[in-house]
Amino acid sequence: MTTMRVLLLILTSILVLSSGLIARNSGKEAKPNFLFLLVDDLGWADLACYGSTFHETPHLDRLAREGVRFTDAYTAASICSPTRASLMTGKHPVRVNITDWIPGSSGKGRKLRTPLDDHHLALEEVTIAEALREGGYSTFYTGKWHLGGAQFSPDKQGFEQYYDPHENPSKGSPGSGTTTGRKHGTIDLTRETKKFITERRNAPFLAFLSYYDIHTPIIPENKYHAHYRDKAAQLGPSPIAIREHDGRSRPRQDNAALATMVQSVDDSVGALVTHLASQGILENTYIFFFSDNGGLATKQGVGPGCNLPLRASKGWLYEGGIRVPLIVRMPNRRSAGLQLSTPVLSTDIYPTLLSLAGLPLRPEQHMDGQSFVGLMNGTGRDSAPRKLYWHYPHYHGSMWTPGAAIRKGDWKLIQFYHFDKLELYDLRKDLGESTDLSAAHPEVTQTLLAELLKWQEKLGASIPVVREVK
């Protein structure tokens, strides 16, 4: 080795060490990236890591092993548009007047006259994308939006890049546009997300991928269909459907076509994690995996999915409609394998992302959200039981009728406006909400009802009224 080469090696080493010392002494670290994956109509029990024995989700199971898995994660609504509004704003859907899916059900001819709500997210709201962008982040959105048409699309709400493969992306289900692969366009959405990550790997970013899967129409992924058909056949004849008021729920997971859609999402997650690693930024990226509501299991006939052991489905305020999977993989596998049972809500995502980004919180905006960074880091949150509220004053195709709900600790109260009745459940002892305890615990019932009514009054929630008989 020549003297010159030795000198160059020494000089290079000095420069590298100096750079490291400067970086450490500056007290500044690179801001983390965020990859947020939102699945449409994915139920709490749809992943193997959440108990499914029919669906196969190896990539998501690995994500759960390497991350934090929440057992009591909730959406702020049992249907898509309100939940999506809560994610973007950190506010309860009541506050932004989006309490039904857009454009919603008219309820014409039904017993109750239901409130009118907005068909778009107001541009005046400061979305999580706008807050992160002000903090130096690049922002990208692809897939289902469902918070208004072209003038209210993601690129008008803080996302500097927006891609959707469908001709009419304002619709809740896929449009008629030509896409690569299936109509839901998961291949396209994954490809464009990878492209954005590659382009912005040297700067902090929020990449928000909102799948159309596993929403209806149920379209099988051909390469997996035979496997799941055989798997379903081995289960034998399906049990009798479960009655749910005027609807029926699928009694087990045995829908081969739906299972292929779940695995398609799993494939996408695996491809994205691999891509982050190939770009050298996996260990500086937080990966969030969430659903917009429970799985569709209950209909007048029967739904395509099954949420057991939870009751009912999308549209309902039983646990099957609002409790969903939430997995967060932290950089360098911090808190890997941690399982958290503390309830969290979709409104909490906004302040959590700000906290992780090292940006100031905006309590005037995300007023219904609480950061759960402390939970993931093991430092905890306030010990006082948190009250969670839901307000769905509309009719829904799942056979849900207008109502509201509150959870406080292990107690949960559901108010049915249509039937003029209350139901009370102890979730710790009765996760499936099979035994109504309202008559056995009248004092708990009335206390929770009073708190629910007080909350509704505070937020100005619209209550359905009985139609006048002409």
Q: Alpha-carbon distance 353 to 286, whole Å? A: 9
Looking at residue 172, its pLDDT comes to 59
DSSP state of 348: G
Burial 38-54 (b: 16+ CB within 10 A, else e): bbbbbbbbbbbbbebeb
Between 464 and 167, whose confidence is greater?
464
Between 202 and 180, whose confidence is greater?
202
The mean pLDDT of 276-305, rounded to a whole number, is 96
Looking at residue 238, its pLDDT comes to 87
Looking at residue 167, its pLDDT comes to 67
Does residue 162 register a pLDDT over 70? yes
| Least confident segment among 6-20, 227-241, 320-334 | 6-20
In one letter, which amino acid is 134?
A: E
How does pLDDT run across 449-463, given as a tens digit for each residue? Answer: 999 999 999 999 999
Neighbours of 397 (CB within 10 A): 16
Q: How far apart are the first and last CA of the chain?
A: 101
How does pLDDT run across 151-160, given as a tens digit for each residue? Answer: 999 999 999 9
Per-residue pLDDT band at 21 (split at 50, 70, 90):
very low
The mean pLDDT of 210-227, rounded to a whole number, is 93
Which secondary structure element, helix H or strand E, spans residue 423, and what is its range?
Answer: strand 421-426
Looking at residue 179, its pLDDT comes to 40
Looking at residue 424, its pLDDT comes to 98
State the average pLDDT for the chain: 90
Q: Partners of 413 in the beta sheet?
A: 406, 424
How does pLDDT run across 418-432, given as a tens digit for each residue? Answer: 999 999 999 999 999
Q: Alpha-carbon distance 150 to 426, whole Å? A: 44
Percent of the chain exceeding pLDDT 70 equals: 89
User: Of 128, 146, 148, 115, which Cα lies nearest the Cα of 459?
Assistant: 115
How does pLDDT run across 187-213, given as a tens digit for each residue? Answer: 999 999 999 999 999 999 999 999 999
The mean pLDDT of 379-396, rounded to a whole number, is 84
Looking at residue 30, its pLDDT comes to 84
How does pLDDT run across 23-66, given as a tens digit for each residue? Answer: 333 345 789 999 999 999 999 999 999 999 999 999 999 999 99
Looking at residue 22, its pLDDT comes to 35
Per-residue pLDDT band at 6 (split at 50, 70, 90):
very low
Domains of the chain: 30-383 (3.40.720.10)
With beta carbons less than 8 A apart as the criterion, state whether 440 and 447 touch.
no
Looking at residue 468, its pLDDT comes to 72
Contacts (Cβ under 8 Å, ≥6 apart) of 312: 244, 247, 249, 294, 297, 298, 318, 319, 320, 321, 398, 400
How does pLDDT run across 72-96, given as a tens digit for each residue? Answer: 999 999 999 999 999 999 999 999 9
pTM comes to: 0.90
Number of H helices and number of E strands within the chain? 11, 18
Q: Alpha-carbon distance 265 to 186, whole Å? A: 7
Sheet strands side by side (includes 247-249) = 242-244, 247-249, 298-299
| Least confident segment among 16-30, 203-217, 299-313 | 16-30
Per-residue pLDDT band at 379 (split at 50, 70, 90):
confident
Looking at residue 28, its pLDDT comes to 54
Q: Alpha-carbon distance 32 to 190, whole Å? A: 21
How does pLDDT run across 111-150, given as a tens digit for each residue? Answer: 999 999 999 999 999 999 999 999 999 999 999 999 999 8
Per-residue pLDDT band at 184 (split at 50, 70, 90):
confident
Looking at residue 165, its pLDDT comes to 83
Q: Alpha-carbon distance 433 to 261, whole Å? A: 28
The mean pLDDT of 3-13, rounded to a whole number, is 44
Phi, psi of 415 (to 5 degrees): -105, 120
